[in-house]
Amino acid sequence: MRTKIEVRNLRKSFASNGSSLSVVEDVTFSVRDGEFIAIVGPSGCGKSTLMNMIAGFTQPDQGAVVIDGVERNKPNAKGIHISQQGSVFPWLTVRENLMFGLNGHAPANKTELADHYADIVGLKGFEKSYPHELSGGMLKRAELARALVVKPEVLYMDEPFSALDALMSLRMRNELLRILAKEKHTVMLITHDVEEAIHLADRIMVLSPRPTRIQASFDVPFAHPRKLSSPEAQELRVAILRELGVNSYGD
Amino acid sequence: MDRFKQALPALVVLALLIGAWWLAVAATHSVIFPTPWQVISGAAELAIDGTLWQHIGASLMRVGAGFLLAVIVAIPLGLWMGWVAGAYAMLNPLFQILRPISPIAWIPIAILWFGVGNTSPIFLIFISSVFPMIVQTTVGVHTIEKRYLRAAANFGVSRYTLFTQVVIPAVLPQVIVGMRIGLGVAWLVVVAAEMIALRSGLGYMIMDSRNAGNRYDLVVAGMIIIGLIGLALDGFMRMLEGLKFVRWRYAH
């Protein structure tokens, strides 16, 4: 498959108390079209900074992000970013939120598209609800639908489900897989949850502590639906945790 | 029933206060200070001959005009100052100096510039309510959460969409708070302004009642009516806070 995203020698440092703190140090990798890539790393290692640069919100000090052969320096609707805290507009209804990015479409078509995607994520009947009337899980669904409705080529997900409880988080993972099976997007997921990464991703990259580099990369060759309790999945989990410096058996 | 229970302590306090007032007037045999009943009958007298409604209408008209003018000026100015750092740097110091000047201090200048017609109180109301609304609108823009602006940038929307669907709705709850403050101050000021030199309005009614024969029943009636109308105006502004597209900002 062809290459979708090329990350070339990205570096970023921030000024702190007069000295410069290097956060991302020489990160290079590429993502194939339609690939689901997960990035795990210790907290505070610069995962989010890395993703902000790839999504175009932050400019790297050095290096470049090339998407479809074109260097990117600004965010656009071809790659939608979904963060942990979420950014569904509280002053718009679910339908209005979903219609937000659809400016090029004819008005009648907009409503139709919005309602279609609300249906896909399981929000049928809540199109006219305001976000404060929804639960945390439903808000995530709305955010996901708002991203999907503009038919982005890439989804950038920065710990999207980590504010949800364990059960809802698992449910949202399954929803995401169900949707991705129908609409093939390229996905970059940042997570600190190794199981989540194994559940979802085609490839898992482990980042080092700050200043961060790619420390290891694992292919996840299991077919969906995945059984996380299988010996192979457990073996992979142990290997990834070892890279993160955690001994999973306590021995 | 629950609402009645909630309001009960307040009603008891009011009843006690009116009772104490009545007793005090009766005990001191005051010939000038009215009893609650005299206040009610005095107000009823003015209500029947129609002058009370004229005074109320005149005050409300002035507040309406001055306040509306202030809204028209303050909201675009506040949005501009909030959005454009240069505009904020240029205008904020000036407004911070003008804001603490009591509107009452403007009365002589208002009379000098506009005479003693309707324009003076309208100007004073404008002056008093425009600054709180500018400040609140500016604060509203400054406190828009970055994640919403980021999302708007991500979807690559036009500047028009950014303003109409993100910036303005995000600021609206603060604007309503500013309008509530502004209208409250405006109502305070109109009465004070009318006390100076006019022939209508609740402020005029109070001063005129005192000057023309010590009608303290009408003075107190005027005060109570001012209080009740102020309460109603605030209640109206609070209804705006209940609108669905601004409620997210206030406590749930």
Q: What is the CATH number of the domain that holds B212?
A: 1.10.3720.10
pLDDT at residue A251 in the model: 45
| B39 and B14 in a common domain | no
Last residue of a domain, one of A151, A167, A184: A151
| A162 and A71 in a common domain | yes
- Residues found in chain A: 251
**For residues A235 and B108, what is the distance between their CA atoms, to the nearest angstrom?**
86
Q: What percent of chain B has pLDDT over 90?
A: 65
| A113 and A182 in a common domain | no
Indicate yes or no: CB of B165 within 8 angstroms of CB of A100: yes
Which residue in chain B has the smallest CA separation from A143?
B151
**For residues B202 and B230, what is the distance between their CA atoms, to the nearest angstrom?**
12
Which residues have CB under 8 Å from B197's CB, separation 6+? Answer: B111, B116, B120
| B21 and B116 in a common domain | no
Which residues have CB under 8 Å from A203's CB, separation 6+? Answer: A35, A36, A37, A38, A217, A218, A219, A220
A13 and chain B: CB distance < 8 Å anywhere? Answer: no
A111 and chain B: CB distance < 8 Å anywhere? Answer: no
Indicate yes or no: CB of B169 within 8 angstroms of CB of A91: yes
- CA dihedral sign of residues A15, A21, A26, A29: negative
**For residues A41 and A24, what is the distance between their CA atoms, to the nearest angstrom?**
12
| B40 and B9 in a common domain | no
Q: How far is CA B57 from CA A163, A173, B62, B64, B115, in A?
A: 55, 63, 9, 10, 21
| A157 and A45 in a common domain | yes
Q: How far is CA A158 from CA A27, A60, A71, A163, in A?
A: 18, 18, 22, 11
Of residues A57, A77, A81, nearest to B156 (C-beta): A77
Indicate yes or no: CB of B156 within 8 angstroms of CB of A130: no
| A49 and A161 in a common domain | yes
Q: What is the CATH number of the domain that holds A52?
A: 3.40.50.300
Alpha helices in B99-167 (DSSP H): 107-114, 119-142, 146-154, 159-161
Of residues A90, A101, A130, nearest to B157 (C-beta): A101
| Residues of A whose CB is below 8 A from B157 | 100-101, 103
Indicate yes or no: CB of B156 within 8 angstroms of CB of A75: yes
| A146 and A157 in a common domain | no
Of residues B154, B246, B248, nearest to A75 (C-beta): B154
| B55 and B26 in a common domain | no
Which residue in chain B has the smallest CA separation from A154?
B154
pLDDT at residue B212 in the model: 83
Which residues have CB under 8 Å from A31's CB, separation 6+? Answer: A3, A4, A5, A6, A7, A37, A186, A188
| A109 and A4 in a common domain | no
Domain that holds residue B17: 1-30
Pairing of strands A3-16, A79-82: unpaired
Q: What are phi and psi of A27, to 5 degrees?
A: -105, 125
For the stretch B167-179, pLDDT in tens is 999 999 999 999 9
Instruction: Going residue by residue through chain A, which has 251 residues, state the pLDDT in tens, using 9 for 90 and above.
Output: 688 999 999 999 988 888 888 889 889 999 999 999 999 988 888 888 999 999 999 999 999 999 998 998 889 889 999 988 889 999 999 999 999 988 767 777 888 888 988 988 888 999 999 999 998 889 999 999 999 998 899 999 999 988 888 888 898 899 899 988 888 899 999 998 999 999 999 999 999 988 888 999 999 999 888 888 899 999 999 999 999 888 766 54
| B160 and B138 in a common domain | yes
Quote the distance between the C-alpha of residue B192 and its chain's center. Answer: 13
Indicate yes or no: CB of A87 within 8 angstroms of CB of B150: yes
Indicate yes or no: CB of B150 within 8 angstroms of CB of A85: no
Contact status, residue A4 vs residue A31, Cβ threshold 8 Å: yes
Q: Which long-range contacts (CB under 8 A, 24 or more apart) does A130-134 make?
A: A130/A90, A130/A91, A130/A92, A130/A93, A130/A94, A130/B244, A130/B245, A130/B247, A130/B248, A131/A88, A131/A89, A131/A90, A131/A92, A131/A94, A131/A97, A131/B248, A132/A90, A132/B247, A132/B248, A132/B252, A134/A94
Domain that holds residue A237: 1-78+153-251
| B155 and B191 in a common domain | yes
Last residue of a domain, one of A129, A151, A173: A151
| B142 and B63 in a common domain | yes
Structure tokens at A70: 């074109």
pLDDT at residue A62 in the model: 92
| A14 and A131 in a common domain | no
Number of domains in chain A: 2
**For residues A43 and A112, what is the distance between their CA atoms, to the nearest angstrom?**
41
| B146 and B173 in a common domain | yes
| B189 and B120 in a common domain | yes
Span of A184-188, B54-58, B207-211 with lowest mean pLDDT: B207-211
Which residues have CB under 8 Å from A33's CB, separation 6+? Answer: A1, A2, A3, A4, A186
A86 and chain B: CB distance < 8 Å anywhere? Answer: yes
Of residues B147, B155, B170, nearest to A100 (C-beta): B155
Quote the distance between the C-alpha of residue B85 and its chain's center. Answer: 30
| A167 and A137 in a common domain | no
Q: Which residue has the tokens 């305001």?
A: A130
| B123 residue type, one letter | F
Contact status, residue A136 vs residue A168, Cβ threshold 8 Å: yes
Indicate yes or no: CB of B165 within 8 angstroms of CB of A92: yes
For the stretch B15-55, pLDDT in tens is 999 999 999 998 998 888 999 999 999 999 899 999 999 99
Indicate yes or no: CB of A83 within 8 angstroms of CB of B252: no
| B41 and B17 in a common domain | no
What is the reported pTM? 0.83
A105 and chain B: CB distance < 8 Å anywhere? Answer: no
Structure tokens at B103: 């509107």
| B148 and B59 in a common domain | yes
For the stretch B77-119, pLDDT in tens is 999 999 999 999 999 999 999 989 988 899 889 989 998 888 9
pLDDT at residue B213 in the model: 78
A137 and chain B: CB distance < 8 Å anywhere? Answer: no
Q: What share of chain B is helix, strand, coil (3-state, %, to 5)?
A: 85, 0, 15
Angle at Cα A86 formed by Cα A82 and Cα A87, nearest 5°?
A: 95
Of residues B161, B166, B245, nearest to A103 (C-beta): B161
List the one residue out of A151, A134, A133, A143 whose CA is nearest residue A172.
A143
**For residues B246 and B235, what is the distance between their CA atoms, to the nearest angstrom?**
16
Pairing of strands A154-158, A19-32: unpaired
Whether the link from the prior residue into A211 is cis, omega within 30° of 0, is yes
Q: Which residues pair with A13 in a beta bridge?
A: A22
B159 and chain A: CB distance < 8 Å anywhere? Answer: no
Which residue in chain B has the smallest CA separation from A82?
B151
Q: Residues B217-245, buried b or exposed e (16+ Cβ, 10 A)?
A: bbbbbbeebbeebbeebeeebeeeeeeeb
What count of other Cβ atoms lies within 10 Å of the Cβ of residue B196? Answer: 18
| A174 and A67 in a common domain | yes
pLDDT at residue B227 in the model: 94
Contact status, residue B144 vs residue B167, Cβ threshold 8 Å: yes
B248 and chain A: CB distance < 8 Å anywhere? Answer: yes
A58 and chain B: CB distance < 8 Å anywhere? Answer: no
Last residue of a domain, one of A100, A121, A151: A151
| A172 and A123 in a common domain | no
A101 and chain B: CB distance < 8 Å anywhere? Answer: yes
| Residues of A whose CB is below 8 A from B156 | 75-77, 101
Of residues B151, B169, B252, nearest to A132 (C-beta): B252
Indicate yes or no: CB of A130 within 8 angstroms of CB of B244: yes
Contact status, residue B186 vs residue B236, Cβ threshold 8 Å: no
| A231 and A112 in a common domain | no
| A199 and A236 in a common domain | yes
Indicate the pLDDT class of residue B197, thresholds 50, 70 and 90: low
| A182 residue type, one letter | K
Number of domains in chain B: 2
| B133 and B194 in a common domain | yes
